[in-house]
Chains A and B, each alone.
Chain A
Amino acid sequence: AQKVTQAQTEISVVEKEDVTLDCVYETRDTTYYLFWYKQPPSGELVFLIRRNSFDEQNEISGRYSWNFQKSTSSFNFTITASQVVDSAVYFCALSEAASGSRLTFGEGTQLTVNP
């Protein structure tokens, strides 16, 4: 069975601080995909990144970076120089190849960036 754990329920930082959101997953499948979504106060779910299990290369996109480590089953998300607009709930999700694209979401981490 697949499972995603986001142990941090809430994080509060001051603008310009760096912040890392943790994500730990469980799966028996050797082929799987990891995702991060952002849910701002308006409520929509915004896709941020997808990673497959065969690609452990870290990725950077502007102020966002992702650290995928299969050895620890983690897919952590770092925001550098955080901004107030980054305030949102962030969800990590997992999809096993055998499950046909269905996403299993973590509980989400509420990030608040204060001015």
Chain B
Amino acid sequence: DARVTQTPRHKVTEMGQEVTMRCQPILGHNTVFWYRQTMMQGLELLAYFRNRAPLDDSGMPKDRFSAEMPDATLATLKIQPSEPRDSAVYFCASGFRTSGSNEQFFGPGTRLTVL
């Protein structure tokens, strides 16, 4: 049963600390997305990769957020330094795009609380 996995599932940290969230996409998928869900903003795209190359990170605050794909089985989202307004659920999703837009399969999310 192929699934997107995310670690950690929950993270509580103090303002100013570095936070790293990890995602393992479904094997064979070539597109990886990072979304953030908050009560105020809903679900919003932060960044996405195709074949490990970043295609769009316009939704990400550049000064503190960074996203990478060190290899095809790992995507990371890092916040440094974290702030209370970063508290949210961060979802990773993966899909396989050949043409058109295929469905994205979401991981369980990382619930981040910044105190």
Contact = CB atoms under 8 A, between A and B. Distances in A.
Nearest to A108: B42
Nearest to A107: B42
14 contacts: A32-B101, A44-B107, A44-B108, A45-B109, A47-B103, A47-B104, A52-B101, A97-B100, A100-B50, A100-B97, A101-B48, A102-B56, A103-B33, A108-B42
Interface of A: 31-33, 35, 37, 43-47, 50, 52, 91, 95, 97, 100-108
A52 B100 contact: yes
B88 interface: no
B96 to A, nearest CB: 10
Interface residues of B, number: 27
Contacts of B48: 100-102
Given A97-B100, A101-B101, 15 more contacts: A33-B101, A35-B103, A43-B89, A43-B109, A44-B108, A46-B106, A47-B103, A47-B104, A100-B48, A100-B56, A101-B31, A101-B102, A102-B56, A103-B104, A108-B43
